[in-house]
Amino acid sequence: MTERNYLWKGFPHILHGGDYNPDQWTGTPQIQEEDMRLMKLANCNEMTLGIFAWAKLEPEEGKFDFSFMDRAMDMIAENGGRVILATPSGARPAWLSQKYPEVLRTNADRTVNLHGRRHNHCFTSPVYRKKTAEINARLAQRYKGHPALLMWHISNEYGGECHCAMCREAFRDWLKRKYKTLDALNEQWWTYFWAHTYTDWSQIEPPSPLGESSTHGLTLDWKRFVTDQTIDFMKNEISVLKEITPDVPVTTNLMGFYQGLDYRKLAKELDAVSWDNYPVWRGNEISDIELASDTALIHDLNRSLLGKPFMMMESTPSHVNWHTYNKLKRPGQHMLSSLQAVAHGSDSVQYFQWRKSRGSSEKFHGAVVDHVGHENTRVFREVAELGKRLGKLDCIVGTTTVSKVALLYDWSNNWAIDDAQGFQRNDKKVMRTIRKHYRPLWRRGINTDVIGFDDDFSKYSLIIAPMIYTVSEELENKISDYVSRGGIILCTYMTGMVNENDLCHLGGFPAGRLKDVFGLWNEEIDTLYPDESNKVYAAGREYKAVDYCEIVHPTSAETIAEYGSDFYSGESAATVNNYGKGRAYYVAFRDEGDFTDTLTEALLKEAGVASEFDGALPNGVTAHSRTDGETIYVFLENYSMQSQSAYTGFTWSTADSGEVINGEISLKPYETLILSRKLTK
Ligand code: GLA
Ligand code: ZN
């Protein structure tokens, strides 16, 4: 039986298009005609309309003018395209801020921003909520049933926070709902320290450089509140659209591992997850091969947020204007980096921006149509070529990704670690650690989900959970159940030190039952200077430890690696413990070398997990798969600048050209092959 998960209705194609701003060109209507000609030439089938168009749509309060949008919607529909229509709350007209100053954002230092930029509003303001709901209702009423309308794009890259009096009050209400009593709050935040005990709710202020910044529980709850308040604002935008156009799905564009919002919570309010992808290809810090892995990780995160296909809402067809050095993608890299998104579950390849703006902030940001205005450019040709290929991939739309391995990543956990005073004080490198653990999976072509503490663990054979510092009683039990039923888990230094409110666990780390799961306890952590390292020996090989060496005492665990220097030389650096039907690995140091890679390989073998490609992948080549339950599609991607050959045990046909392929497969530099074969039941 085929199982597909379509993100939108009645258009079973991979979307190819992007941010379209005819609102910037209303004085030159011929540009819009030209856009339609070029859209077809570029093999684009989608335009994202109206993201920052509020000033055009409502030039004066209560006076609306939808003429540019009517025209764009009609023209796109006539040309066979579809529209993702945005709500304009990301940037508001100047008259609105002038007349209603309460919408302006207040910073943590209590200064109030002037009008300007974007994403610069108070998320509590009743006026702003009313105004955004009004304009959204007008858009929905006007374009309800329009043949072009495919989806709603809610606002743009929600982010930031507001510290105005209304937001501060909303925070106190949020705390009252969470803790019920001040005593409970004081206990969890351990406000007994430095006499910070609150005796009235009104004394609580959000963290600020002018006031409190060292009560970690407060900071953590404030970040959670910011997520909840942003979600509340977003729901206010969505509910009016759902009343008028209940069948039109909603999405908002996310920003990868952006630390300002817990996307796992926010995603629950969306019909589809989408994200804006701007990796630094050809960067001077890491290789394109490493970058490909880091980017794949974010694609996997986005897919895992709702456990279904996602969308790449933005990417650049050439370069951006906000990296430190804005390099061009090499010929062929655009095709490869776009298909990478599809390989990991995206059902769209979309751009910022369709046409380069003529002035202002992003006039030198890459676009499909450059200032030159015609199609005779390298970038346009590469976009058109990709569009042609995507046009042959209807078979991929709605297929899902089956993963037996999960990487655990939790926003609150990352916030708490970053805020901890101690260890390497300024940068605990959580993200770098996550990426380090992902790379061995990526290069072996292992589908991986990136899940949170509340997600279902039972479908995975292997869970990799680096630096899970905040462990609630619930999580403790969940890990223990998972392993005792046969799961394999890998945890690291800093596991289970505090509870969900950043209050230390007593009785030794890791928390409670985790000491039995791992068969050890952690007594101390030695933090190394950046230029220091320690030696680690495992199975006759020497490895290198950097940053952290935790000193653990095995109770039932078996030591699989030992420290080679310092006063803890000879003590356990990595262990494994049999627990119930499963196995729990503990890596007590941070590896800078290939210990992680070697161990991951062993764990995959133990868990019986292999790539669907079933064969040997040379360095720089990887393979990720999607399936509808009947056919498996493998994207074989070559991120190196060399021709490569991979070997497969299966016979495949290419999904876009039907060519039969088996045995040794050669790939040109940057080439992606999309292979398919029927699954045998
Ligand atoms: C973000 C925004 C876009 C644009 C691009 C530039 O993702 O959503 O409006 O500014 O960045 O790369
Ligand atoms: Zn506010």
CB of 155 within 6 A of ligand 1: the answer is no
Q: Which parts of 365-429 fold into alpha helices (H)? A: 378-390, 411-419
Ligand 2 centroid distance, CA of 151 (Å): 29
Label residues 324-361 b or e (16+ Cβ within 10 Å = b).
eeeeebeebbbbbbbbbbbbbbbbbbbbbbbbbbeeee
Tell whether 648 and 513 lie within a shared domain: no
CA–centroid distance, 318 to ligand 1, in Å, is 14
- Asked if 60 contacts 95 with a C-beta cutoff of 8 angstroms, the reply is yes
Residues of the domain holding 485: 405-607
157 is catalytic: yes
- How far is the centre of ligand 1, averaged over its atoms, from the C-alpha of 417 (Å)? 29
What is the per-residue pLDDT for 438?
98
**Does any domain span residue 631?**
yes
Is-contact 530 592, C-beta < 8 A? Answer: no
* 349 located within any domain: no
Same domain, 536 and 649: no
Task: Please compute Rg for the chain using Cα positions.
Answer: 26
The answer to whether residue 425 is domain-embedded is yes
> Are the CB atoms for 306 and 270 separated by under 8 Å?
yes
Q: Is the dihedral of CA 87, 91, 95, 98 positive or negative?
A: positive
Ligand 1 atom 1: residue of nearest CA? 276
Calpha distance 232→292 (Å, rounded): 35
> What is the number of domains present in the chain?
2
**Atom of ligand 1 at shortest range from CA of 321:** 12
- The CA 316 to ligand 1 mean position distance, Å, reads 9
The residue out of 607, 641, 666 marking a domain boundary is: 607
Q: Would 497 be classed as within a structural domain?
A: yes
Say yes or no: 538 and 597 in one domain.
yes
Query: The domain spanning residue 588 has which CATH number?
Result: 3.40.50.880
Cβ atoms of 323 and 316 closer than 8 Å: no
590, 592, 595, 601: CA torsion to nearest 10 = 100
Cβ partners under 8 Å of residue 359, min gap 6? none
Q: What is the DSSP string of 272-295?
A: EEEEE----TT-SSS-HHHHHHHH
Q: Is the CB of 158 under 6 A from ligand 1?
A: no
Please give the C-alpha separations between residue 578 and each of 167, 484, 551, in angstroms, as whole numbers: 49, 9, 20
Atom from ligand 1 closest to the CA of residue 51: 9
Cβ atoms of 274 and 605 closer than 8 Å:
no
Please say which residue of 582, 607, 632 terminates a domain: 607
Please check whether residue 406 is in contact with residue 449, taking contact to mean a CB–CB distance below 8 angstroms: yes
Q: Does the beta carbon of 54 sit less than 6 angstroms from any atom of ligand 1?
A: no
Domain assignment of residue 62, yes or no: no
Please check whether residues 556 and 505 belong to one and the same domain: yes
Low-confidence ranges of the chain (pLDDT < 70): 1-2, 681
Same domain, 592 and 638: no
Q: What are the Cα distances from residue 295, in Å, to 228, 301, 428, 618?
A: 27, 10, 21, 19
Ligand nearest to the CA of 21: 1
Residue 543, beta-bridge partner list: 536
Q: Does 276 contact ligand 1 (Cβ within 6 A)?
A: yes
Domain-ending residue, one of 583, 607, 631: 607
Identify which ligand lies nearest to the alpha carbon of 166: 2
Q: Are residues 567 and 660 in the same domain?
A: no
| Residue 309 is assigned to a structural domain of this protein | no
What CA–CA distance (Å, rounded) separates 178 from 117? 34
Is residue 612 among the annotated active site residues?
A: no
Residue 681 is which amino acid? Answer: K
Residue 265, phi then psi, degrees to nearest 5: -75, -45
What is the 8-class DSSP label of residue 401?
-
Give residue 156 CA to ligand 1 midpoint distance, Å.
9
Phi, psi of 130 (to 5 degrees): -70, -45
CB 295 within 8 A of CB 624: no
The pLDDT value given to residue 614: 87
Whether 594 and 634 share a structural domain: no
Ligand 1, residue 156: give the atom nearest the CA: 8
Q: How many angstroms separate the CA atoms of 16 and 312, rounded?
A: 10
Q: Within 13 Å, how many C-alpha atoms sit on residue 372's CB side? A: 11
| Distance, first Cα to last Cα, the chain | 11
**Atom of ligand 1 minimally distant from the CA of 322:** 12
Residue with tokens 């949020």: 174
Q: Is 300 in the pocket of ligand 1 (CB under 6 A)?
A: no
Residue 62 CB contacts under 8 Å (≥ 6 apart), including other chains: none
Ligand nearest to the CA of 101: 2
How close is the Cα of 209 to the center of ligand 2, in Å? 17
pLDDT value of position 616: 86
Inside any domain, residue 335: no
Whole-number Å distance, alpha carbon 103 to ligand 2 midpoint, is 7
Query: Could you tell me if the CB of 119 is within 6 A of ligand 1?
Result: no
Please choose, from the candidates 655, 22, 220, 161, the residue with its C-alpha nearest in 3D space to the C-alpha of residue 399.
655
How many CB atoms lie under 10 A from the CB of residue 555? 12
Report helix, strand and coil shares of the chain as percent, to nearest 5: 30, 25, 45
Nearest atom, ligand 1, residue 276 CA? 7
The CATH number for 664's domain is 2.60.40.1180
Asked if residue 651 belongs to a domain, the reply is yes
List 46, 58, 237, 314, catalytic entry = 314
Among 352, 354, 357, 360, say which to mutate for ligand 1: greatest number of ligand atoms within 8 Å of CB. Answer: 352
Looking at all shown ligands, the one closest to residue 161's CA atom is 2
Contact between 653 and 675 (Cβ < 8 Å): yes
- The C-alpha atoms of residue 135 and residue 340 are separated, in whole angstroms, by 36
- The answer on 509 and 541 residing in a single domain is yes
Is the distance from the beta carbon of residue 278 to the nearest atom of ligand 1 less than 6 Å?
Answer: yes
Instruction: Supply the pLDDT for residue 615.
Output: 85
Residues 562 and 643 in one domain: no
Residue having the nearest C-alpha atom to atom 12 of ligand 1? 320
Tell me: do 530 and 568 sit in the same domain.
yes
- Report how far residue 298's alpha carbon sits from residue 341's, in angstroms, rounded to the nearest whole number: 10
Does the beta carbon of 320 sit less than 6 angstroms from any atom of ligand 1? yes
Instruction: Identify whether residues 539 and 642 lie together within a single domain.
Output: no
Q: How far is the CA of 352 from the centre of ligand 1 (A)?
A: 6
631 in the same domain as 494:
no
Give φ, ψ of 253 to 5 degrees.
-90, 125
Report the SS3 class of residue 321.
coil
Is 315 touching ligand 1 by the criterion CB < 6 Å? Answer: no
